[in-house]
Homo-oligomer: A and B are copies of this chain.
Amino acid sequence: MASSFSARRSKTSIEPHAAPTIDLSAVIMAATPDEPRVLTVRSDPQQPEGLPSGPLQSQHRTLEMGLRSWVTEQTQLTLGYVEQLYTFGDRDRAEAHDPNAGHALSIAYLALVQEARPAGLAHAAWQNWYDYLPWEDWRDGRPKALDVIEPALKAWARAGGKPLRQFREERIELTFGFEARTWTDERVLERYELLYEAGLVPEALRDGATAAKARIAPGKPMALDHRRILATAIGRLRGKIKYRPVIFELMPAAFTLLDLQRTVEALSGIRLHKQNFRRLVEMQGLVEETGEVTTKTGGRPARLVRFRREVLLERPAPGVRLPRLR
């Protein structure tokens, strides 16, 4: 297309460097009542694993079709829900910090799948989200990772001058809520980025952060900026389940209400009040009876329910609203 600014642009633009490279990357998620999972691949045994990614191929009419096509081809997984996440293009994602390197663009997608059966791809594996971002899991109380992170972040804030220090402290409080004891489950990306800026994740050091002596937050790194992409995906999904019934994309055809609750808890990283969760789900008409029960629950047998697809047509914003933590 012709640039709308072409007249002016020709005066100011610089001869393009290397043409940007473009790929599609996918955060493919699955979940059990215990564990939220993401599909990772390891191309180089020496390097940390990363997200599956592939080239943009122009024979597909839409980007999403291109994504579905190569994911299916490579992993034999059938993607359910797919949404575009974000286009990452900051220059520091280039592997080598070659100032002449062009942008390495990556269009990231979030995809949800039901079955967590092993991927057909060699070196691909399902991993627990929280192996990478352990501070995001509050299901068993305050994550121990924060015992390292909190003092390290506070030290980082103190290291700045007066105004910078206050700014940093506010940002820390906003994202981690140490003082107010407020945890906002969706701020996953903001927290990761704060840790990155504070030099508390290995990726930052790799990218040339100064704070070499800073403590490192627990959690496995990933290749390139893939942990950032994962954080983006988790934040997006945590937000989405509150107003869209996407949680069912991760559930089997029939499940118990506790399975559903546990899965929501796994994704959101917080515990919910059982009775209120049930009330919410029933009153929103999100599920319907299958007529069957399961006795494998370890207690009174539970009804098996399934997703009521009709809700997609009824309520403007059906989803699993969550209470605040604390």
A residues at B contact (CB < 8 Å): 1-9, 12-14, 16-23, 41, 43-44, 50-63, 70, 73-74, 84, 86-87, 89-95, 102-107, 121-122, 170, 173-174, 182, 184, 224, 312-313, 316-317, 324
Please give me the 7 A-B residue pairs with the lowest Cβ-Cβ distance, nearest first: A184-B316, A4-B41, A62-B90, A63-B89, A87-B87, A17-B58, A58-B102
20 interchain pairs, CB-CB under 8 A: A1-B21, A1-B53, A1-B94, A2-B44, A3-B53, A4-B51, A4-B52, A4-B53, A5-B41, A8-B121, A13-B55, A18-B58, A19-B19, A56-B89, A56-B103, A58-B103, A61-B91, A62-B91, A63-B103, A87-B107
Report yes or no: B107 in contact with A89, Cβ–Cβ below 8 A. yes
A61 to B295, CA, bound (A): 58
Report yes or no: A61 in contact with B90, Cβ–Cβ below 8 A. yes
Report yes or no: B103 in contact with A1, Cβ–Cβ below 8 A. no
Q: How many identical chains are in the complex?
A: 2
A99: shortest Cβ distance to chain B, in Å? 9
Report yes or no: B43 in contact with A4, Cβ–Cβ below 8 A. yes
Q: Can you name the residue of chain B whose Cβ is closest to the Cβ of A183?
A: B316
A35: shortest Cβ distance to chain B, in Å? 22
Q: Which residues of B contact A173 (CB under 8 A)?
A: 313
Q: Which residues of B contact A184 (CB under 8 A)?
A: 316-317
Q: Which residues of B contact A12 (CB under 8 A)?
A: 73
Q: Can you name the residue of chain B whose Cβ is closest to the Cβ of A312?
A: B174
Report yes or no: B313 in contact with A324, Cβ–Cβ below 8 A. no
A121 to B12, CA, bound (A): 14
Q: Which residues of B contact A93 (CB under 8 A)?
A: 1
Q: Can you name the residue of chain B whose Cβ is closest to the Cβ of A123?
A: B4
Q: Can you name the residue of chain B whose Cβ is closest to the Cβ of A75?
A: B5
Q: Select A52's contact among B5, B7, B87, B324, beta carbons within 8 Å.
A: B5
Once A53-B5, A62-B90 are accepted as A-B contacts, the answer to whether A174 and B313 lie under 8 Å apart by CB is: yes
A95 to B93, CA, bound (A): 31
Report yes or no: A9 in contact with B54, Cβ–Cβ below 8 A. yes
Q: Which residues of B contact A316 (CB under 8 A)?
A: 182, 184, 324
Q: Which residues of B contact A20 (CB under 8 A)?
A: 22, 56, 58
Report yes or no: B58 in contact with A16, Cβ–Cβ below 8 A. yes
Q: Can you name the residue of chain B whose Cβ is closest to the Cβ of A19?
A: B19
Report yes or no: A22 in contact with B105, Cβ–Cβ below 8 A. yes
Report yes or no: B90 in contact with A63, Cβ–Cβ below 8 A. yes
Q: Which residues of B contact A62 (CB under 8 A)?
A: 89-91
